[in-house]
Structure 1
Amino acid sequence: MAAALGLWQLLTTNDVRIWLRFDTLPTVTEIASALVTRLGTEQYWLDLGQSLIRILTGFGLAALAGVVTGIMLGRSALLSDLFGPLTELARPIPAIAMVPVAILLFPTDEAGIVFITFLAAYFPIMVSTRHAVRALPTIWEESVLTLGGSRWDVLARVVLPGILPGLFGGLSVGMGVAWICVISAEMISGRLGVGYRTWQAYTVLNYPDVFVGIITIGVLGFTTAAAVELIGRRATRWLPRGEEAAR
């Protein structure tokens, strides 16, 4: 990391242009100075908080809807036949391509950005949940029913614990995609947020602040992804590898 930063400083300070135009980029010291300045402003923290509210709201709704519909599609052949083709038709459409629809559909930009974030996270979570449900050994369910358990017992004691490893994989992917789309949506139609401020800095040729935004996005994405992974490890510590890691 230090070597990369040193090379960046060297190339940008000396205005090197060897196919790549390092003379147009800010130096490391300029970016660091801009970061320190931005950290001391109220606007920076307002933007950061707004982006976090949007990502957590959209991702939370997507997690709830994705798990519920994933279980339903995974356990019901009828629902899978009826709605499976529709989900597969909608899934390849990039969530960011729905920005014009969100602008027309929702009365506020805020609701539209949350909707885009929801769409981005929903499909990875739903698909991973559906596959995890279908991968469960049928003998587990049959054993619960044979011992007098109900369908709710199967759901609580077999399905929900059994899908956790696959589910958290989908949650991790969903969080990453959600960040991509919430930042893109903020750049297109937002009035606050890290994405909006980063794009605004670019439009006024304030390149050090552009990199401050990029760094902030990276830190936010890393932090939220690490939080999902930590919760996943805690929730699946009953797995053999979880027990080994705990030792």
Structure 2
Amino acid sequence: MTAYVTGGARAQVADDVAAAIPTPGLVTTRRSASPWRWWLLRLASVAAAIGLWQVLTAGKVRLLLRFDTLPTVTQIVNALQRRLGTYEYWLDLAQSLLRILSGFGLAAVVGVATGVLLARSRLFANTFGPLTELARPIPAIAMVPVAILLFPTDEAGIVFITFLAAYFPIMVSTRHAVRALPTLWEDSVRTLGGGRWDVLTQVVLPGILPGVFGGLSVGMGVAWICVISAEMISGRLGVGYRTWQDYTVLSYPQVFVGIITIGVLGFATAAAVELVGRRVTRWLPRAQEGSK
């Protein structure tokens, strides 16, 4: 009798669990419909902000903030159309992209390598770790005078500033990701006869990918802040340099063209990092659920 009751209870529990789990068709329908709603909401929020900007600036509203001193949306659009037809605009854009990709790419390689070494090697952590902790609180833009004195060209100095800005977020994220790995994974590889290289390639590098791409995303944003600031201070070309030059001659619509360009470039590069991160970490359970 006991066995019969136990079996019936187990069957009842199984039925309850099955009823609580939504069917795949319903899940797919909900997930396929929701992205369109979110995209419409995003576009609506941007359109509302642009419309509010036009109303406040065209109406020359002064309500705590002086919107009457700012250019209208139509003035900015006209300035953008004129700027898009010039050779200097595309040259500045290419120069800023070259600087950001050079500095960020170097920071990604060095940051991941040193982050792994700081977490895995006690000798390296005690030798190099104190230097990183002393240098990490210093803002990268504060190193502009040092870069001007250290490097023979302004171009190399700006790339160096960009590298410093992106390096520390990437290094710290990688170090924390390595330290957060379960020791059981490493023990399992070693039990099966694996060595240090096997642990690194089969446990450490795959396991830290989510944390690494989090650091890369943060590093890209900080790198853009510093490269634009460095271009304004010591650059001869670039979006930041051109934006500052427009400000000095009081060409405010052109200033906002530069600001919009910086925002679009930052959004595009950050989205590229996020896309690569999702592609590389497809094996994660959460990523597999999101792709269904």
Q: TM-score, normalised by structure 1?
A: 0.98
Q: Distance in 2 between matches of 1:129 and 1:7?
A: 42
Deviation at 1:22, TM superposition (A): 1.2
1:5 aligns with 2:50: yes
Q: Which moved more, 1:189-198 or 1:72-81?
A: 72-81
5 Å-filtered alignment, 1:7-26, equals 7-26=52-71
Pair 1:105 & 2:150 matched: yes
**Structure 2: runs of 5+ lacking an equivalent:** 1-45
Distance 2:101 2:214 in 1: 17
Match of 1:220 in 2: 265
Q: Which of the residues 229, 245, 252 maps onto 1:207?
A: 252
Q: How many residues align?
A: 247
- Rounded to whole Å, the distance in 1 between the matches of 2:215 and 2:50 is 34
- Shift >6 Å, 4+ stretches: none
Deviation at 1:19, TM superposition (A): 2.6
Counterpart in 2 of 1:245?
A: 290
Equivalents in 1 of 2:185, 2:56: separation in Å?
Answer: 61
One-letter identity of the residue aligned with 1:95: A
C-alpha distance in 2, partners of 1:175/1:152?
30
Task: Work out which of the residue numbers 174, 177, 200 in structure 1 matches 2:222.
Answer: 177
> Which protein has greater RCO, CA pairs closer than 8 Å, 6+ apart?
1
Deviation digits for residues 50-95 of structure 1 (CA, Å, limit 9, x no counterpart): 0000000000000000010000001012221222222111101000
Residue 180 of structure 2 corresponds to which residue in structure 1?
135
| Alpha-carbon offset, residue 235 of structure 1 | 0.5
Aligned mate of 1:235, from 256, 260, 280: 280
- Secondary structure at 1:107 match in 2: coil
Displacement after TM superposition at 1:10 (Å): 2.1
Q: State the one-letter code of the partner of 1:66.
A: G
Task: Return the letter of the residue paired with 2:132.
Answer: T
- In our comparison, the structure showing a higher alpha carbon Rg is 2
How far apart, CA to CA, are the structure 1 residues paired with 2:63 and 2:176?
48
Whether 2:192 is the aligned partner of 1:147: answer yes
2:56 is equivalent to residue 27 of structure 1: no
Q: CA RMSD in A?
A: 0.9
- Letter of the aligned partner of 1:87 in structure 2? T
What amino acid is aligned across from residue 246 of structure 2 in structure 1? A
Shift of 1:21: 1.3
| Aligned residues with identical type, % of pairs | 81
CA distance in 1, matches of 2:279, 2:269: 15
- The answer to whether the aligner puts 1:50 opposite 2:69 as a matched pair is no
